[in-house]
Amino acid sequence: MSKRPLILITNDDGISSKGISSLAEAVLDLGDIHVVAPDSPQSGMGHAVTIGEILRIKSAYFPIKGVTAHSTSGTPVDCVKLAIYKVLGRKPDLILSGINHGSNSSINVIYSGTMSAAVEGAVESINAIGFSLLDHDPDADFTNAKKVVRQMTMEVLKRGLPHGVCLNVNIPKISEGEELKGIKVCRQAAGYWEDGFDERKAPNKESYFWLTGEFTNPDKGEDTDEYALSQGYASVVPTQFDLTAHHAISELNSWGLT
Amino acid sequence: MSKRPLILITNDDGISSKGISSLAEAVLDLGDIHVVAPDSPQSGMGHAVTIGEILRIKSAYFPIKGVTAHSTSGTPVDCVKLAIYKVLGRKPDLILSGINHGSNSSINVIYSGTMSAAVEGAVESINAIGFSLLDHDPDADFTNAKKVVRQMTMEVLKRGLPHGVCLNVNIPKISEGEELKGIKVCRQAAGYWEDGFDERKAPNKESYFWLTGEFTNPDKGEDTDEYALSQGYASVVPTQFDLTAHHAISELNSWGLT
């Protein structure tokens, strides 16, 4: 058996995106790389799993040599489950998700398929990192992002992560010729989306809607991911699946519910 | 303007489920009730939002008199956003989600569309509660669940919730003639799913898969939702959208990332 770590790569932009091949390329020599990714974009799928519908999985072409690849009809979380139980036959040593085309900082973490794949890794007690570049361009420049991917992957392979924790890594868009300032450990900023819906009319006169919105961040803390990114740093937020608001338990107990 | 609270009701089992009409019935006299719910089941959708696809919303029949109802083509989180921005024209005073047919205790909270609607309420600074009955039967007996719904709704209308926190309320299945033991404030148990996939063959010989799995709970803490439910109590877990593992920040800082 190989002593090289078994690294599972997935994403939510789909197996043919530039971000996932950039991710594989950045870590190619660090382990045995298997890609199991959605066959089509799954952005905004959050922690969705496919229940009550069928799942398909197929061998797939992947542009990086030395990488085994499968595509699935499922969500990013489905991809992690299918990879473990149908493709690899065991838990990988590390799950890497991304590189997402667009930010998953602040509240975006809960809508993000990229990060949900990493969180699912934490649920399964597998070290996992989600990577996102603040650039939606399908042909974005991943040069800086790949350096961060490589550094963080080597750190996590060496040190491991605390139990129940994965990492949410966001990388700012850097102008050509400029350098990334560095990497900062942060908390998730308390931002949110001011939503809206654009209305359109179908030929039969029925209305339909497109979700739109503007990200708003009233959280001015200098320990947040938003602040680090605004200053030209990559942000690393340790991220957990325990949603319990532990600080609120004593207040609720004071209600005297019986 | 009415002084009665504006209460938005949604769910993930779809607008025609028994659980959502039971929920509306339980709180009918406590406010002005508006239902905005998926037109078809959305279980397991987690915090998915519809990006890059269109959304439809229509007036809908609802079996409880005095309730305004709309159905949407979207996920539970979409329903909350559509309700605020297209149906109600303002934020409701309270969001109630459910009553889910099946448990959303422990790790199920992150896969749950029911709970994601409540979490989206917290993101929008709206008081919100998700309710789930531990019974998948489409014709489940909601008698006990409705009492808990009513009690918790009255408490939250009276007291409000801490900022950024919603409630995850699960109600055990009680045999006929037995009584609920009471209500306990809990933390989310550290359980998980041992997944599996059932393989089938299509007529063209291609394989496809159904997600299966068994819930496993190694967390024996008596302060967990699983423990309370096993003892015949309803569980109330304060639930947050800040996924930061704050306890892991100092460890990560010790890595000396630059």
- pLDDT of A192-248, one tens digit each? 999 889 999 999 999 999 999 999 999 999 999 999 999 999 999 999 999 999 999
One-character DSSP codes across A21-34: HHHHHHHGGGSEEE
Question: Searching chain A, which residue's CA lies closest to the CA of residue B151?
Answer: A257
Query: How far apart are the CA of B243 and the nearest CA of chain A, in angstroms?
Result: 5
Q: How far apart are CA A109 and CA A98, in angstroms?
A: 13
Query: How far apart are the CA of A16 and the nearest CA of chain B, in angstroms?
Result: 17
Instruction: Report chain A residues whose CB lies below 8 A from the CB of B116.
Output: 46, 110
- Region A34-57: mean pLDDT is 90
Beta bridge partners of residue A238, listed in sequence order: A167
Q: How far apart are CA A102 and CA A105, in angstroms?
A: 9
Instruction: Report chain B residues whose CB lies below 8 A from the CB of A236.
Output: 252, 257
Three state DSSP letters for B196-236: EEEEEECCCCCEEEEEEEEEECCCCCCCEHHHHHHCCEEEE
- Per-residue pLDDT at A178: 84
In chain A, what are the domains?
Answer: 6-189+222-253 (3.40.1210.10)
- Per-residue pLDDT at A242: 97
Q: State pLDDT tens for residues A111-159.
A: 999 999 999 999 999 999 999 999 999 999 999 999 999 999 999 999 9
Would you call A187 and B246 a contact, using CB atoms and an 8 Å cutoff? yes
Identity at A215, one-letter amino acid code: F
Write down the residue that tokens 């809990």 correspond to: B186
Would you call A255 and B159 a contact, using CB atoms and an 8 Å cutoff? yes
Average pLDDT score, chain A: 95
Instruction: Report chain A residues whose CB lies below 8 A from the CB of B78.
Output: 211
Would you call A209 and B55 a contact, using CB atoms and an 8 Å cutoff? yes
- Per-residue pLDDT at A1: 46
Q: Following CA atoms A16, A18, A20, A24 in sequence, which dihedral angle do they give, to the nearest 10 degrees?
A: 110
- Per-residue pLDDT at A27: 98
- Region A3-24: mean pLDDT is 97
Would you call A195 and B81 a contact, using CB atoms and an 8 Å cutoff? yes
Q: Is B81 on the interface with A (CB under 8 A)?
A: yes
Q: How many Cβ pairs closer than 8 A exist between chain A and B? A: 226
Best probe of the A interface among B166, B180, B186, B243, by most A CBs < 10 A, is B243
Say if residue A2's pLDDT is above 80. Answer: no
Instruction: Report chain B residues whose CB lies below 8 A from the CB of A243.
Output: 109-110, 119, 168, 188, 237, 239-241, 243
Say if residue A173's pLDDT is above 80. Answer: yes
Q: How many CA atoms lie within 13 A of B245 on its CB side?
A: 24
Sign of CA dihedral A44, B194, A249, B10: positive
Q: How far apart are CA A11 and CA A26, in angstroms?
A: 15
Query: How far apart are the CA of A154 and the nearest CA of chain B, in angstroms?
Result: 12
Query: How far apart are the CA of B52 and the nearest CA of chain A, in angstroms?
Result: 8
Q: How far apart are CA B35 and CA B115, in angstroms?
A: 16
- Per-residue pLDDT at A48: 87
The single-letter DSSP state of residue B106 is T
Q: Which of A88, A146, A50, A238 is nearest to B246 (CA)?
A: A238
- Per-residue pLDDT at A46: 80
- The 10 Å Cβ neighbour count of residue B147 is 16
Beta bridge partners of residue B133, listed in sequence order: B101, B171
For chain B, which residues score pLDDT lower than 50? 1
The pairing of strands B127-133 and B165-171 is parallel
Q: How far apart are CA B245 and CA A126, in angstroms?
A: 16
Kindly list the distances between the CA atom of residue A163 and the CA atoms of A152, A240, B164, in Å, as whole numbers in the listed order: 17, 9, 25
Best probe of the B interface among A233, A242, A247, by most B CBs < 10 A, is A242
Q: How far apart are CA B236 and CA B115, in angstroms?
A: 12
- The 10 Å Cβ neighbour count of residue B185 is 21
- Region A28-46: mean pLDDT is 92
Say if residue A183's pLDDT is above 80. Answer: yes
* Residue A61 main-chain phi, psi, to 5 deg: -70, 140
Question: Searching chain A, which residue's CA lies closest to the CA of residue B253?
Answer: A185
Q: Is B200 on the interface with A (CB under 8 A)?
A: yes
Say if residue A176's pLDDT is above 80. Answer: no
* B54 within 8 A of B70, measured Cβ to Cβ: no
Q: Is A61 on the interface with B (CB under 8 A)?
A: no
Q: State pLDDT tens for residues A54-86.
A: 999 999 999 999 999 999 999 999 999 999 999
Assign A13 a pLDDT band (cuts: 50, 70, 90): very high
